């Protein structure tokens, strides 16, 4: 048995169970098919505490990987070839291990105990390493914390679960989902987007998907993301890396109450508008939306999402505004494109882990401004082609000037361009954006929404400078 000084803490022996290890090793050599079951739980020889058991298990791995049978005779032969047979106690010791096993029925349970002891030892080792680092205080504290979290998560990732599902059980789940949709009389399988055509193309925001919403600055990305959050009818977590939470709530208040954003931002409102805002408190209390404007790092965002999912298992949507502002501890290397790629892959894995759709806003590069109609394409995604690769859906905002009004003001057609849709159709969707109240509206509902906004703004209205023309669509 090894005497691992690095794991000794105040004279205590690290967690281990030699008798269970013997039972596992003996069962492997006694029953030919048992090694495959154990290997899924114990991936490396280091999972064993005893040096002898590590060497025996290493020989088993060599035999298995070379296509040979794993039993008492082949393991003895392999240890002899490696020159390790004497260090494990000789052929007699191997025979003794197999004779001590009455049954291999509980080999997986025993292997999990061995894995659990190994994880405890690893936790002790990592903790002691970080105690030394903390006392030295010579490294960046946030980078140290992130590295510690990464190491601890690697330990937990060592727990092997049976994620393989027979197709029959998946098919049964499909039938159940179809029956549920038919009962509820809805064709949405995901989170409500709030827009008829977008729902028809996506069937709602689907769990485990990464959706990229991209545009040049000042095109209405944040307003659209907030509209998605309000329309979701599900618990939503909104990360804002650019605007404060109060600034976002002002936009939501304008949108939900048909009050000009400029009026709310300036505080110059008439009595009717103030009354509307006061009566809207109940609506805001019921809105299942949380905003985080403090977290700026990738590790912080991932930690907050995991914590929120644990607190609220029915978390339905995560929105991040915006992706290129996320900080990582590796930015000092200077390759921002690789960093953005790492961020997008991490968000994709997070969406899959939490089974929650993630909408990440992104900037387009300046090349789109050089085109004749300024129509964005996938090549315009700024800083990384990984965004296109990792995303399930990529949506662009495009304001196309189609002509001039009689007063020479531009006539603008606004579309969401679905340029990538892994599980559905790619097509343009026409929406209207009323920038006055920060609301994105179904094209067919725009006239009705403008009428409601006009009434709210005109009733006992207090004029203010630079009023927005009601005929301007955005």
Active site residues: 242
CB 327 within 8 A of CB 298: yes
CB 348 within 8 A of CB 208: no
Helix, strand or coil for residue 210?
A: strand
DSSP per residue, 7-52: G-BTTBPPS--HHHHHHHHHHHHHSTTHHHHHHTT--SGGGSSSHH
Q: Which residues contact 18 (CB under 8 A, 6 or more apart)?
A: 1, 49, 50
**Cis (ω within 30 of 0) for the bond into 215?**
no
Helices (H), 185-236: 196-202, 221-231
How far apart are the C-alpha atoms of 206 and 204, rounded to whole Å?
6
Q: Which two tokens stand for residue 118?
A: 């190994």
Instruction: Point out which residues pair with 441 in neighbouring strands.
Output: 432
Q: Which of 350, 372, 370 is nearest to 359 (CA)?
A: 350
DSSP per residue, 106-172: THHHHHHHHHHHHHHHHHHHHHHHHHHHHHHT-S-HHHHHHHHHHHHHHHHTT--------HHHHHH
Q: Which two tokens stand for residue 205?
A: 């925001």
What does DSSP assign to residue 409? P
Helix, strand or coil for residue 313?
A: coil
Q: Which residues contact 229 (CB under 8 A, 6 or more apart)?
A: 236, 238, 289, 317, 319
How far apart are the C-alpha atoms of 59 and 160, rounded to whole Å?
22
Q: E strand or H helix at 360, and its extent? A: strand 358-363
Question: β-strands 393-404, 289-292: how paired?
Answer: unpaired
CB 402 within 8 A of CB 412: yes
How far apart are the C-alpha atoms of 66 and 202, rounded to whole Å?
47
First-to-last C-alpha distance (Å) of the chain: 74
Question: β-strands 428-434, 410-421: how paired?
Answer: antiparallel
Give how far the C-alpha of residue 236 lies from the chain's centroid of Cα atoms, to the nearest Å: 13
Give how far the C-alpha of residue 238 lies from the chain's centroid of Cα atoms, to the nearest Å: 13
Q: Which two tokens stand for residue 130?
A: 């970080």
């Amino acid at each position: 048995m090894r005497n691992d000084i690095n794991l000794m803490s105040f004279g205590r022996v690290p967690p281990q169970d030699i008798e269970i290890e013997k039972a596992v090793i003996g069962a492997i050599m006694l029953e030919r098919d048992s090694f495959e079951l154990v290997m899924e739980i114990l991936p490396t020889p280091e999972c064993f505490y005893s040096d002898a058991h590590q060497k025996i298990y290493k020989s088993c791995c060599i035999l298995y990987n070379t296509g040979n049978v794993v039993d008492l005779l082949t393991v003895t032969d392999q240890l002899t070839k490696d020159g390790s047979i004497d260090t494990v106690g000789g052929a007699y010791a191997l025979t003794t291990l197999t004779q001590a096993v009455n049954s291999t029925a509980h080999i997986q349970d025993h292997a999990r105990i061995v894995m659990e002891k190994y994880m405890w030892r690893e936790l002790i080792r990592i903790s002691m390493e970080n105690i030394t680092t903390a006392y030295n205080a010579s490294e960046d504290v946030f980078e140290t914390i992130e590295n510690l979290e990464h190491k601890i998560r690697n330990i937990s990732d060592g727990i092997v679960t049976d994620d393989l599902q027979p197709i029959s059980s998946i098919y049964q789940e499909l039938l159940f989902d179809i029956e549920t949709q038919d009962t509820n009389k809805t064709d949405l399988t995901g989170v409500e987007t709030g827009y008829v055509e977008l729902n028809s193309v996506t069937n709602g925001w689907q769990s485990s998907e990464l959706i990229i919403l991209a545009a040049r600055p000042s095109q209405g990305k944040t307003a659209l993301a907030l509209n998605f959050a309000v329309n979701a009818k599900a618990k939503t977590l909104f990360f804002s890396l650019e605007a404060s939470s109060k600034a976002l709530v002002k936009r939501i208040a304008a949108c939900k109450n048909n009050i000009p954003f400029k009026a709310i931002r300036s505080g110059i409102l008439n009595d009717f508008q103030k009354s509307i805002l006061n009566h809207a408190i109940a609506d805001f209390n019921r809105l299942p939306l949380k905003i985080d404007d403090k977290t700026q790092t990738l590790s912080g965002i991932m930690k907050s999402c995991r914590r929120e999912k644990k607190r609220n298992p029915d978390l339905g949507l995560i929105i991040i505004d915006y992706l290129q502002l996320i900080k990582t501890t590796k930015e000092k290397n200077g390759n921002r494109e690789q960093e953005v790629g790492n961020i997008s892959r991490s968000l994709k894995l997070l969406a899959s882990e939490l089974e929650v759709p993630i909408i990440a806003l992104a900037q387009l590069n300046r090349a789109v401004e050089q085109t004749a109609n300024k129509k964005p394409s996938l090549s315009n995604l700024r800083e990384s082609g990984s965004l296109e690769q990792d995303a399930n859906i990529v949506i662009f905002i495009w304001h196309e000037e189609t002509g001039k009004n009689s007063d020479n003001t531009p006539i603008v057609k606004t579309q969401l361009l679905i340029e990538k849709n892994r599980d559905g159709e790619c097509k343009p969707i026409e929406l209207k954006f009323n920038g006055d109240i920060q609301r994105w509206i179904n094209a067919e509902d725009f006239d009705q929404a403008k009428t409601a906004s006009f009434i709210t703004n005109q009733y006992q209205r207090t004029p203010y400078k630079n009023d927005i023309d009601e005929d301007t669509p955005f």
